[in-house]
Amino acid sequence: MENIPGTAFILLITLFTCSCVDDIDIVNPEISQKLVVQCTMSPENGVQAFISKTGIIGQSTVNERVFDANVMLKNLQTQEVKELIYLQEDEIYSLKGLSIEEGDRFDLEVFIPESDVESVSSNTSIPQSAVYEISDVESMSDGIKLELNIQGFDAKYLHIIPEASYYELDGGSHADVYEFLEILESSELFVGTEILAHLNGVLLKVDELDQNRLILNLSAPSLNNSLIKASHLLVNVRSVSEAYYEFNKSLSRQITASESPIFEPVLSYSNIEGGHGFFGSFISVLDSIPL
């Protein structure tokens, strides 16, 4: 028997191998769209919800806004059910004039009529108000030093938002001008304390503070106008629900991480059953300190 030349032998093996391989159809898995809910409620702001749904694989990676959902809120104490109204101009669902008190518990249900998108639900409790004392406000060359003493542990999570308000130099009347003040990295921050990248202010867990004391170094008011001057430091201390704290903490960390060329992924927080997002609540105490 004659020997088959090396190249011809390799060609025959290749053809035989290829003829034994079946075509494989790759089927993309069908992943259903999910509702994405971002909803907060408070005595001062009522209920506000932004509703969207996840994009379809291969078509869109951007969430689609939803304007035809039914957003139902139930007070578990009174069993009263209210529906949020869609405000087209603001692109949010809203409910005003609702009685909201500390300790009230609410259920939320969101669904789109005549849609294959699954309905979602969640719940929240209105937290206890923060009890605190502003023990020191000191003007420094580069800003303002603010010291707070948190009293008790009824409020477990806080969102502290500092602002500056202004008055007119010529008449002394207050001008309708406000400015959020940046919280500087030189502040005495602890584990569980988060300077927010997407909201103003700082989040914190009360039980992780050192001796229940928080010291914040704030940026100086930067409004450059010869006719008005900063007159008061406004401090908004929000006692927030755990879901409000966890969602905004994770979102802030995602934003901060994405700005770094090397970062570890941060898991998103959600307390929405059947979907994504959060349903949280807060109650505010406001203070105004002359500068």
pLDDT of residue 28: 52
**pTM for this one?**
0.84
Region 179-196 average pLDDT: 84
- With cut-offs at 50, 70 and 90, classify the pLDDT of residue 211: confident
- With cut-offs at 50, 70 and 90, classify the pLDDT of residue 85: very high
Which position has the token pair 């103003």? Answer: 200
pLDDT in tens, 228-242: 777 889 999 999 999
Q: Tell me, which fold does domain 35-125 have in CATH?
A: Immunoglobulin-like (2.60.40)
State the Cα–Cα distance between residues 83 and 93, nearest whole angstrom: 9
Does this chain's domain 35-125 share its CATH topology with 132-267+281-290?
A: yes
pLDDT of residue 256: 85
- With cut-offs at 50, 70 and 90, classify the pLDDT of residue 169: low
- With cut-offs at 50, 70 and 90, classify the pLDDT of residue 11: very low
Give one DSSP letter per residue of the chain, joined into a string: -PPPPHHHHHHHHHHHHHHTPPP-----------EEEEEEEETTTEEEEEEEEPPPTTT-SSPEE-SS-EEEEEETTT--EEEPEEETTTTEEEE-S----TT-EEEEEEE-TT-SSPPEEEEEEPPPPP-EEEEEEEEETTEEEEEEEE-SSS--EEEEEEEEEEEETTT-PEEEEEEEPPBPTTSB--TT-EE-SSSSSEEEEGGGSBTTEEEEEEEPP----TTEEEEEEEEEEEEE-HHHHHHHHHHHHHHHHHTSSS----PPP---BTSEEEEEEEEEEEEEEE-
**What's the chain's average pLDDT?**
85
44 pLDDT higher than 80: yes
> Among the CATH numbers 1.10.286, 2.60.40, 2.40.128, 1.10.10, which is that of 132-267+281-290?
2.60.40
Which of 134-138, 186-190, 269-273: highest mean pLDDT?
269-273
The full set of domain ranges for the chain reads: 35-125, 132-267+281-290
Closest CA to 239 of 162, 155, 154: 155
Looking at the chain, the whole-number percentage of residues with pLDDT higher than 90 is 56
